[in-house]
Amino acid sequence: MRKVAIIGAGMTKFGEEWGRGFRDLIIEAGKASLEDAKLQGEEIEALFVGTMASGSLIGQEHTGALIADFMGLTPIPSTRVEAACASGGVALRQGFMAVASGMHDIVAVGGVEKMTDVDGGNVALALGGAGDQEWELFTGATFPGIYAMMARRHMLEYGTTEEQLASVAVKNHKNASMNKYAQFQNEITIDTVLKSKQVASPLKVFDCSPVTDGAAAVILCPLDKAQKYCEKPVEIIASAQASDTLALHGRRSLSSIYATQVAAKNAYAMAKLQPKDIQVAEVHDCFTIAEIMAIEDLGFFASGKGGKATEEGKTALNSDISINTSGGLKGCGHPVGATGVKQAVEIAWQLRGSAGARQAKDAQIGLTHNVGGSGATAVVHIYKKAF
């Protein structure tokens, strides 16, 4: 299996992009990644794009071919990848395997979602399909409700507090305030979170990631060819994916995500590393409780200790481990198909030392963690500075 590197990375600003459509977003991100890799496009041999709900949100399916068309990349193979909110992460894994196997040399990986063209009810309906439609969505279980149940169980088992949940949002908004691509570039306080409108107890508005438009893209190639295109390539040293039951009621635990634990274990084994070796990580914080569970499931903190660790500042920039330097899904935004690729873009920038004010000091090893639904899919990638 060949070693694989990221040689180009780019993204759009995340937010409510009323003046731009689905095509505009992915073209902007794709162009930025090509320019970063100093490529024109004709070198690209295959394209993998994560998109969750384009049919429901903008009435457009067959988006793989659409993107190849408008990026000027026909007739290369272009594949749409769907794994709910983990669509981008799984697309990255597909691109990684295509290069690692020797099937292709230069591969583009993108993620995109245009979510603000329909009203909130239709967005909720589209996102609800990431869970079990028959057993959850049909009976009225929304994703805030599902994650609220997970939060309540975590609080019951470990004594996690609402203030600890709020500290996740405060930290991620602080990081987002230093990110020009972020949807929310304002700092908030614990009090702001606690006094915001309740969505599903104990989760409030500021515990929840927003509805977002945006796109991100990376260019991959074999490591031994990377310096031809890029002065500071970033090697992907591990890629792992795992699955669990679609519905929450079938899980081993409500206070952790087993698929994350399995994917993390396999990624660490592939990279020959341990959690303590990771210096910067982008984890899937669709809700504040999701980040707390993630940093426990990934092995950064013991079960039940993630809330306290966050409250004590151990996940802040340049602390024990820098978590969600981009602002995460909570601060940077969550265009669901793009999130997993945006995470890779952020880690690539961090390991290159080009993240600006939010730069993690001396970052050598990074990790991304992308979740589909309430945990039925989890993808973990590990990265290092290549040279």
Distance between CA atoms of residues 173 and 150, nearest Å: 23
Known catalytic residue: 334? yes
Indicate whether 200 and 83 sit together in one domain: no
Indicate whether 221 and 256 sit together in one domain: no
Distance between CA atoms of residues 316 and 168, nearest Å: 9
Indicate whether 176 and 284 sit together in one domain: yes
Out of 85, 208, 221, 230, the active site residue is: 85
**Considering the domain boundaries, does residue 263 fall inside one?**
yes
Indicate whether 70 and 138 sit together in one domain: no
Parts of the chain with a pLDDT under 50: none
Q: What domain count does the chain have? A: 2
pTM comes to 0.98
Whole-angstrom CA distances from 211 to 15, 95, 111, 332 are 8, 27, 15, 11
What pLDDT does residue 358 have? 98
Strand order, beta sheet including 46-50: 78-81, 46-50, 107-113, 214-222, 4-11, 234-243, 377-385, 365-372, 280-282, 322-323
Indicate whether 257 and 320 sit together in one domain: yes
Identity of residue 296: E
Tokens found for residue 156: 């019951």
What pLDDT does residue 120 have? 87
**Considering the domain boundaries, does residue 180 fall inside one?**
yes
Distance between CA atoms of residues 107 and 172, nearest Å: 31
Q: For residue range 169-178, list pLDDT tens digits in order.
A: 999 999 999 9
Distance between CA atoms of residues 220 and 97, nearest Å: 10
Range of the domain at 53: 4-119+212-234
Indicate whether 168 and 66 sit together in one domain: no
Distance between CA atoms of residues 231 and 229, nearest Å: 7
Indicate whether 37 and 67 sit together in one domain: yes
Helix residue spans in 37-142 (DSSP H): 54-58, 63-70, 87-100, 120-128
**Considering the domain boundaries, does residue 182 fall inside one?**
yes
Indicate whether 91 and 13 sit together in one domain: yes
Known catalytic residue: 381? no
Indicate whether 320 and 281 sit together in one domain: yes
- Residue 93 belongs to domain with CATH number: 3.40.47.10
Collect all residues with Cβ–Cβ distance below 8 Å to 76 and sequence separation of at least 6.
Answer: 44, 45, 46, 47, 68
**Considering the domain boundaries, does residue 124 fall inside one?**
no
**Considering the domain boundaries, does residue 125 fall inside one?**
no
Out of 104, 154, 173, 334, the active site residue is: 334
Question: How many H-runs (helices) and E-runs (strands) does the chain carry?
Answer: 13, 12
Q: Is 19 exposed, middle or buried (0-12, 13-18, 19+ CB in 10 A)?
A: exposed
- 95-111 b/e (C-beta count within 10 Å ≥ 16 → b): bbbbbbeeebbbbbbbb
Indicate whether 321 and 351 sit together in one domain: yes
Indicate whether 165 and 228 sit together in one domain: no
What pLDDT does residue 41 have? 85
Phi, psi for 329 (deg, rounded to 5): -65, -30
Indicate whether 93 and 164 sit together in one domain: no
**Considering the domain boundaries, does residue 165 fall inside one?**
yes
Distance between CA atoms of residues 317 and 175, nearest Å: 8
Q: For residue range 183-227, list pLDDT tens digits in order.
A: 999 999 999 999 999 999 999 999 999 999 999 999 999 999 999
Q: For residue range 45-103, list pLDDT tens digits in order.
A: 999 999 999 999 999 999 999 999 999 999 999 999 999 999 999 999 999 999 999 99
